[in-house]
Amino acid sequence: MHLLTDAQRSASELAGLIGAPEREIEEHLAHVVRSLAKDSTRRFLLDPSRCHDCGFVFRERTRLTTPGRCPACRSEAIAPPRFRIETRSKKN
């Protein structure tokens, strides 16, 4: 979880950093999302996947995996979603 705190990373970057398969990272991220839902000091942010060819953004997509194909132009050049945990700084 600390790898995502105030640093934006994709599942494949996390897989490289941790040395675990991407599938495992996605399962772990799903768990992180659930546990942060009740956390008032931290927030999970998802930067959605987008199409490299036409710029289509997968805003409606809540899954953590990379979509296979762009619905707008059918390109398979899709940038993976990126994740970040934002900490809400307590002032005073």
Q: Does the footprint of Zn ion cover residue 53 (CB under 5 A)?
A: yes
Maximal C-alpha separation, the chain: 51
Which of 56, 78, 81, 83 contacts Zn ion by CB under 5 A? 56
Site for Zn ion in 12-31 (CB under 5 A): none
Q: Does the footprint of Zn ion cover residue 51 (CB under 5 A)?
A: yes
Backbone angles phi, psi at 78, to 5 degrees: -110, 125
CB of 77 to Zn ion, least distance (A): 8
C-alpha of 61 from chain center: 11
How many whole angstroms separate alpha carbon 43 and alpha carbon 45?
6
Which of 12, 41, 62, 75 contacts Zn ion by CB under 5 A? 75
